[in-house]
């Protein structure tokens, strides 16, 4: 089974006929850092690429004790949309509507993207999925998407991002995400923009409202990592113990975002 993600994650049963290694002559840049390899048709600025890949891995480890398992992660970058589609469209038709895709091909976790003004954001998002799926045998869709949406922005920009400001405004006129609604999303294909926003907002709440709320999510993922099925997050005992949802409205009205290295309230 393979796993794809961009705006929507898709499960399909197929394998790419061409791998990055099989197409070595086309790559202007080939680089490797630990278990992560980059193949690019242009120079994407490798210092920036590695900084952001490492930042995502660091935050997942520090926030949630989620780490890569050492299996290969390949990042394959194309010079433009046309090159990207020629490489992927016949095998992965969904790439025609997406700027970046996470693809699990056996034990190789692949991220495909093309050069654009949002390339770094796209890479952060898809690399988050790659690391999550290396560490965890499964996870709820809203957590998968929520964490990818959260980590696609560098930590220093989250407090003042347009969507954080929008969420604060919406909360003041009565909006707040519903965990029950998120847990009832039947599949990735049915997710809309509001579902992505609410998954992101719920992740913000859990990671930033209190040490207890963050620990509840951390412990929930630890149970999954051990191969157990903890049930819905809303029924998880440590979620109840944290009492986070009794303070949710107050949080969303102000929506403070802690820096990843800030363990204080």
Tokens encoding 20: 């990055």
Tokens encoding 161: 């991002």
Closest by CA to 227, choosing from 140, 135, 142, is: 135
Q: Which residues, at least 6 apart from 228, have a Cβ–Cβ distance to it below 8 Å?
A: none
What's the Cα-to-Cα distance from 9 to each of 1, 45, 217, rounded to whole Å? 13, 27, 22
Instruction: Please tell me the predicted confidence (pLDDT) of residue 98.
Output: 85
Per residue in 165-210, pLDDT (tens digit) is 999 999 999 899 999 999 999 988 899 999 999 999 999 999 999 9
pLDDT band at 265 (very low <50, low <70, confident <90, very high): very low
**Sign of the torsion angle spanned by Cα atoms 169, 147, 152, 15:** negative
Domain ranges of the chain: 2-135, 141-254
Is the pLDDT score of 16 beyond 80?
A: no
CATH of span 2-135: 3.40.30.160
Is the pLDDT score of 35 beyond 60?
A: yes
Predicted model pTM = 0.89
Per residue in 60-108, pLDDT (tens digit) is 999 999 999 999 999 999 999 999 999 998 887 777 888 998 988 899 9
Cβ contact 135:225 at 8 Å: yes
């Amino acid at each position: 089974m393979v796993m794809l993600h961009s705006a929507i994650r898709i499960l399909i049963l197929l394998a790419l006929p061409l791998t990055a290694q099989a197409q070595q002559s086309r790559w202007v840049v080939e680089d490797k850092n630990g278990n992560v390899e980059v193949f690019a048709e242009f120079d994407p600025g490798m210092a920036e690429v590695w900084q952001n890949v490492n930042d995502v891995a660091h935050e997942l480890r520090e926030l949630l004790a989620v780490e890569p398992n050492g299996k290969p992660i390949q990042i394959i970058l194309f010079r433009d949309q046309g090159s990207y589609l020629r490489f992927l469209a016949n095998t992965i038709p969904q790439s025609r509507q997406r700027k970046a895709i996470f693809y699990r091909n056996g034990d190789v976790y692949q991220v495909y993207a093309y050069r654009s003004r949002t390339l770094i954001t796209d890479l952060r998002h898809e690399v988050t999925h790659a690391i999550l799926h290396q560490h965890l045998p499964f996870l709820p869709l809203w957590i998968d998407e929520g964490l990818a949406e959260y980590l696609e922005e560098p930590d220093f920009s989250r407090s003042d991002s347009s969507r954080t400001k929008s969420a604060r405004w919406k909360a003041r006129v009565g909006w707040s995400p519903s965990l029950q609604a998120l847990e009832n999303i039947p599949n990735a294909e049915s997710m809309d923009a509001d579902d992505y926003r609410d998954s992101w907002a719920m992740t913000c709440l859990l990671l930033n409202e209190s040490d207890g709320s963050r620990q509840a999510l951390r412990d929930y993922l630890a149970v999954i990592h051990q191969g157990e099925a903890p049930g819905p997050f809303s029924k998880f005992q440590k979620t109840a113990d944290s009492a986070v949802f009794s303070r949710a409205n107050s949080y969303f009205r102000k929506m403070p975002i802690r820096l990843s290295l800030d363990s204080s309230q």
